[in-house]
Chain A
Amino acid sequence: MTASLTIRGLVKEYKPGQPVLKGIDLEFDGAGLTAIIGASGTGKSTLIRCINRLVEPTAGEIIFAGEDIAKLRRGELRNARRRIGMVFQEYNLVERLSVMENLLTGRLGYTGAWQAWLRRFPAADIERSFALLETVGLASFADQRADSLSGGQRQRVGIARALMQEPRLMLADEPTSSLDPKTSVEIMTLLKEQGAAQGIPVIVNMHDVELSRRFADRIIGMKDGMVAFDGPPAELDHAMLKHIYGGEGWLH
């Protein structure tokens, strides 16, 4: 089986001559949750946002489903993005829309302009929304406005919205950083379970090392815009953490 996502020589410079990502090569295949860790400012968000081109890569290839996403034009890019779900730290729900409407926005990439304008989604989409709301434990919240939910509930809606896309890849940028420890564990469990259920790779940026050890099948440690560690959680030792984050007082 070929890899579901291959990143080759990825470089990103926000300012010319000052690369934030300095040539990243990575492969992701099959299912499994990968945690990307690293000190803040090392380019974790930039990396994950280059994958669906919320950030334009400066150089390199991002091969997903046989296409180089970095080279796609507008319409093609929209089609590719439909297959990549994304979960955000600040949930990024449309606050003034209902939970149901937020879920349905996950289908917009598949919906014609006219149907979208009239909010006429296919019956199958509606069915899928209700099913996913049950999956994430918010079945009775369909008609509530998103801004009436708690942080944990919002993130569940965020995950359900991403799953509405029937994604072949799931990205999450610090999905638990605004949540309390207990809710964080619940959200990570949900992400991991759903990734396994759909049989897709899940890539999660995290700053909590313990949480990533607990949930990840693979950990990528980033330092100064490069991959410093790539392996199973068991191999991530103190020496490596010290290298990635610098200092060691915080380790004890």
Chain B
Amino acid sequence: MNAVPREWHRYTSGQRLARFTFYFFIVAAVVASARTVEIIPEFLYDAPEQMKDLLTRMWPPEFRYYPDGIHDALIETIHIASLGTLLSIFIALPFGLLAARNLTPSPTLNYLAKLVLVSSRSVNSLVWALLFVGIFGPGALAGTLAIAFRSVGFVGKLVGEALEETPRGPIEALEAAGASTGQRVWYGYWPQIRPAFWSIVLLRWDINVRESAVLGLVGAGGIGMAMQAAIDLFQWERVAMILLSIFIIVIVAEIAVTALRKRIL
């Protein structure tokens, strides 16, 4: 009886077309970029040799250098990361509150707050650092501000999202009891986002330890500045020691943050 067997496809023909178009453009983009980036073959053939040369000059790292200039620069890097993160929290919170649609029922304010947060994120911290070195001169202050301004977008966006995910019910109960907006934030939203908030801050601090190690390359203080100086003087064993220090501090930060976040969540 059943002449026509019933068919079933995972995708509709429209979906299939969309998927084909998508993959087509991915392949086209890869081909196009490969053509545009002009790779100079001579430099490429040469690369392994150059690499070997650099590594032999760097090996072994010279531990004597550590107390002499590296230790202090490393501490400064951590200060830049920590102060920058702290500062970013104070700037980010108001924007995070304004960006959350459930808390701030004004699309205009949501949009403006998100614009500020996106602007902060769309500028790389090295670019922020160049800007602040220009304004305040080289040093840790420029680095701290660069870290802070780059982190505002990260912290603000994630806090805003955490706020938007808080369940509506408890807030409604506070509203029904006659609580003001401030009281709703303090008794309703804050307890519910607190673990997420500390987790976001720790995560950002971890990223900032890494970023602030680089900022010195443009004069914004910290270990990067010590590295720049060592490179300029061709002190490769010193460079190696600095790289090793950065590597260790990044690992330590990562381990600390992972352990702390586990306790919070």
| Chain A residues proximal to chain B, CB less than 8 Å | 52, 54, 78-82, 84-86, 88, 90-97, 101, 105-106, 108-111, 113, 116-117, 158, 161-162, 165
Asked if B48 CB lies within 8 Å of chain A CBs, one says no
In the assembled complex, the Cα of A116 lies from the Cα of B172 at a distance in Å of 18
**Contact between A109 and B194 (Cβ–Cβ < 8 Å)?**
no
**Shortest distance between the CB of A238 and any CB in chain B (Å):** 36
A116 touches B191 (CB 8 A): no
Q: What is the CA–CA distance of A184 and B124 in the complex, to the nearest angstrom? A: 58
Which among B178, B187, B192 is the interface contact of A95 at CB below 8 angstroms?
B192
B176: which A residues are within 8 A, CB to CB? 52, 54, 81, 84, 86
Most buried by A among B169, B173, B175, B186: B173
Contact of B229 with A by CB under 8 A: no
B191/A94 in contact, CB under 8 A? yes
CA distance A74 to B176 in the complex (A): 12
| Residues of chain B in range 179-202 having any CB-CB distance to chain A below 8 Å | 179-180, 182-183, 186-188, 191-192, 194
B69 to chain A, nearest CB (A): 46
Q: A88-B173, A106-B177, A113-B182 are in contact. List 11 more A-B contacts (CB 8 A).
A: A54-B175, A86-B176, A88-B169, A92-B169, A92-B170, A94-B188, A96-B191, A110-B178, A161-B173, A162-B177, A165-B178
A90, A105, A110, A165 pick with most chain B CB within 10 angstroms: A105
User: Are B191 and A97 touching (Cβ within 8 A)?
Assistant: yes
21 contacts between A and B (CB under 8 A): A78-B179, A81-B176, A88-B172, A92-B169, A92-B170, A94-B170, A95-B170, A96-B191, A96-B192, A105-B187, A106-B177, A108-B177, A108-B179, A108-B180, A111-B183, A116-B182, A116-B183, A116-B187, A117-B186, A158-B173, A161-B173
In the bound assembly, the distance between CA atoms of A240 and B186 in angstroms comes to: 48
Answer whether residue B174 sits at the interface, using C-beta atoms and an 8 A cutoff.
yes
| CB nearest to A93 among chain B residues | B170
Report the bound CA distance from A52 to B177 in whole Å: 9
Counting contact residues on chain B (CB < 8 A from A), the size range is 10 to 19
Chain B residues, CB < 8 A from A158: 173
Q: Which residues of A contact B188 (CB under 8 A)?
A: 94
CB-defined contacts of A95 to chain B, threshold 8 Å: 170, 191-192
Residues of chain B with a CB closer than 8 A to A78's CB? 178-180
B7 to chain A, nearest CB (A): 37
Alpha-carbon separation in the docked complex, A161 to B172 (Å): 13
Most buried by B among A80, A88, A94, A162: A94
The main secondary structure of chain A at its interface with chain B is mixed
CA distance A95 to B191 in the complex (A): 8
Q: In the complex, A84 Cα to B176 Cα: how many Å? A: 8
B77, chain A: closest CB distance, angstroms:
35
Measured CB to CB, the closest approach of chain A to B161, in angstroms, equals 18
Pick from A54, A84, A88, A94: contact of B187, CB below 8 A: A94
Cβ-defined partner of B174 (8 Å) among A84, A108, A113, A117: A108
Q: Is the CB of A92 within 8 A of B173?
A: yes
A81 to chain B, nearest CB (A): 4
**What 1/0 mask marks residues of chain B from 152 to 184 whose CB sits below 8 Å from any chain A CB?**
000000000000000001101111111110110
Which of chain B's residues have a CB closer than 8 A to the CB of A106? 177
- In the complex, the answer to whether B172 meets A96 with C-beta atoms within 8 Å is no
Find chain B residues with CB under 8 A from A84 CB.
Answer: 176
A82→B178 contact, CB < 8 A = yes
Known A-B contacts A78-B180, A94-B192, A105-B179; the reply to A86 vs B187 at CB < 8 A is no
Given the complex of chains A and B, what is the CA–CA distance between A57 and B3 in angstroms? 58
Q: Shortest beta-carbon distance, B209 to chain A, in Å?
A: 29
Q: Which residues of A contact B172 (CB under 8 A)?
A: 54, 88, 92
The answer to whether A90 touches B169, judged by C-beta atoms less than 8 angstroms apart, is: yes
* 10 closest A-B pairs by CB: A109-B178, A92-B169, A82-B178, A92-B173, A81-B178, A108-B179, A86-B176, A96-B191, A78-B178, A94-B170
Q: Is the CB of A105 within 8 A of B174?
A: yes
Contact among A52, A91, A108 for B183, CB-based, below 8 A: A108
Chain B residues with CB under 8 A of A80: 178
**With contacts A113-B180, A165-B178 known, is A108 near B187, CB below 8 A?**
yes
Chain B residues with Cβ under 8 A from A79's Cβ?
178
A86 contact set on B, CB distance < 8 A: 173, 176-177
The answer, among A92, A93, A96, A109, for a CB contact under 8 Å with B179, is A109
> Inside 8 A of B175's CB, which chain A residues have their CB?
54, 81
Find the residue from A54, A90, A108, A113 having the highest chain B CB count within 10 A: A108
Most buried by A among B175, B176, B192, B194: B176
